[in-house]
Amino acid sequence: MQNKIINKINFTSQIWKENNIFISHNPELKVSSCGNTIKKAKQNLKQAIELFIETTEKMGTLNEILEESGFVKKKENHEQIWKAPELLSFERMNLAF
């Protein structure tokens, strides 16, 4: 019996508040969602990324998009894990214009 490979992805979630709505954003894939709470915004972002993955997989472009977005594929046991690029710095900056 052949073991099935399980695909997984780890990704970055940024959350901020606009008025009374929490916005959740994944910068690597440029996918966003929102919710009335932080928890709901996270759940909705996961769902949006699942739909993104399903759609690009059907189109045959998933691997290419993940690689172009900086994800690296690692194989561990019976899992294939797409790891997001490591964030090295995150800060607010100012620019006069």
- Convert the pLDDT of each residue in 18-45 to its tens digit: 999 999 999 999 999 999 999 999 999 9
Q: What is the pLDDT of residue 90?
A: 87
Domain residue extents for the chain:
6-83
CB neighbours (10 Å) of residue 58? 9
Q: What is the DSSP letter of 3?
A: P
Q: What is the pLDDT of residue 18?
A: 98
Predicted structure pTM score: 0.86
Q: CB-based contacts of 33: which residues, under 8 Å, 6+ apart?
A: 23, 24, 41, 44, 45, 47, 48
Query: Cα–Cα distance between 92 and 97 in angstroms, integer?
Result: 16
Query: Cα–Cα distance between 73 and 14 in angstroms, integer?
Result: 22
Q: How far apart are the first and last CA of the chain?
A: 64
Highest CATH level, class, for 6-83: alpha beta
- Convert the pLDDT of each residue in 42-92 to its tens digit: 999 999 999 999 999 999 999 999 999 999 999 988 899 999 999 899 899
Q: What is the pLDDT of residue 76?
A: 85
